[in-house]
């Protein structure tokens, strides 16, 4: 005979003792939290293995062995994700009889796109601002317990003192994960400031190009009358060439002004 837990009974639309449901609720919460922590650990391990393979592994035999290890880690990631989904389904069945209203915010649906490393996918958001890029970090890295954060928004003493393994540029570093989130924010802010500076530099470069073309057109105009030791025919040729070069500079200036005026 199968052992029916309160969540399975609730899915059938039948009533179960609330004390038993509360006990399973705590069990499923622990199962979901444990699954998320294992998922983060496996993702960090996979990130390290992929980086190590890319930078250090050469040769067909070594690449095949490395790829086999990565596939084994990926299998564990898939199994852990399924474990979390199972726990969440049970929590959803128990939430109604136990009148749990905000459980879905603490345990969101785990989609396939959410199962990724902290920095994975940021390179695909180049057209977004740095703030939006930070928001693209998967929720599993910002969930309760991921960075020593409790429901009150502060890390508990036990979690703050604990260390977690993080892959940073392919190297394991014993630093708290919430510290890494701060590092990622600082790096994003530095990139945003650098890009703002690049925009200012580009605007100044465009202004200087227009000023240079104006000056060069005037310079070619003055060159038309500098030679006084030439004959009439040669003099006409020099004047025509100088004015032609001046006209080219002015045409380039008008073309650049028309193109850059669209940039605001």
Residue 231: pLDDT band with limits 50, 70, 90: confident
Q: Of 157 and 146, which is predicted with more confidence?
A: 146
CA distance 130 to 136: 10
Highest mean pLDDT among 130-144, 169-183, 249-263: 249-263
Res 67: pLDDT? 93
Kindly state the DSSP code that residue 164 receives in the 8-state scheme: -
- Give start and end residues of each alpha helix (H) in the chain: 6-11, 18-56, 60-98, 103-106, 130-135, 157-161, 177-223, 232-260
CA distance 14 to 66: 50
pLDDT at 259 over 80: yes
Residue 180: pLDDT band with limits 50, 70, 90: low
Q: Of 144 and 170, which is predicted with more confidence?
A: 144
Q: Could you identify the residue written with the tokens 């992929």? A: 50
Res 155: pLDDT? 43
Res 134: pLDDT? 52
| Cα 240-246-248 angle, rounded to 5 deg | 100
pLDDT in tens, 85-132: 999 999 999 998 999 988 988 899 999 999 988 766 555 555 555 555
pLDDT in tens, 25-48: 999 999 999 999 999 889 988 988
CA distance 140 to 134: 13
Q: Could you identify the residue written with the tokens 């004959």? A: 231
CA distance 172 to 156: 24
Least confident of 60-69, 86-95, 136-145: 136-145
| Cα→Cα distances 193→103, 108, 110, 129, 263, Å | 39, 33, 34, 11, 20
Residue 173: pLDDT band with limits 50, 70, 90: very low
Tokens of 187: 């790096």
Closest alpha carbon to 128 in 188, 184, 181 = 188
Q: Could you identify the residue written with the tokens 């003099």? A: 235
What is the Cβ-side half-sphere exposure of residue 182, based on CA atoms within 13 angstroms?
6
Task: Give the residue-averaged pLDDT of 10-33.
Answer: 90
Res 165: pLDDT? 38
Average pLDDT value for the chain: 81
CA distance 85 to 79: 10
3-state secondary structure 95-137: HHHHCCCCHHHHCCCCCHHHCCCCCCCHHHHCCCCHHHHHHCC
Q: Of 132 and 157, which is predicted with more confidence?
A: 132
Largest CA distance in the chain: 116
């Amino acid at each position: 005979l199968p052992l029916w837990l309160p969540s399975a009974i609730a899915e059938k639309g039948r009533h179960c003792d609330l004390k038993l449901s509360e006990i399973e609720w705590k069990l499923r919460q622990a199962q979901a939290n444990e699954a998320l922590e294992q998922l983060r650990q496996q993702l960090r391990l996979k990130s390290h293995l992929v980086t190590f393979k890319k930078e250090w592994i050469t040769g067909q035999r070594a690449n095949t062995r490395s790829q086999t290890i990565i596939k084994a880690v990926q299998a564990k990631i898939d199994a852990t994700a399924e474990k979390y989904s199972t726990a969440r389904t049970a929590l959803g069945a128990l939430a109604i009889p136990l009148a749990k209203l905000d459980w879905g915010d603490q345990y969101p649906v785990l989609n396939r796109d959410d199962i990724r490393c902290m920095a994975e996918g940021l390179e695909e958001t180049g057209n977004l601002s740095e703030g939006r890029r930070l928001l693209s970090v998967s929720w599993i890295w910002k969930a309760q317990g991921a960075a020593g954060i409790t429901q009150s928004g502060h890390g508990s003493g036990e979690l703050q003192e604990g260390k977690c393994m993080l892959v940073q540029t392919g190297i394991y570093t014993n630093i708290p994960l919430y510290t890494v989130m701060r590092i990622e924010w600082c790096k994003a802010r530095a990139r945003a400031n650098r890009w703002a500076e690049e925009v200012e530099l580009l605007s100044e470069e465009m202004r200087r190009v227009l000023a240079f073309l104006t000056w060069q057109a005037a310079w070619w105009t003055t060159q038309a009358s500098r030679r006084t030791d030439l004959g009439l025919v040669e003099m006409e040729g020099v004047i025509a060439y100088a004015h032609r070069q001046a006209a080219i500079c002015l045409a380039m200036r008008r073309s650049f002004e028309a193109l850059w005026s669209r940039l605001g």
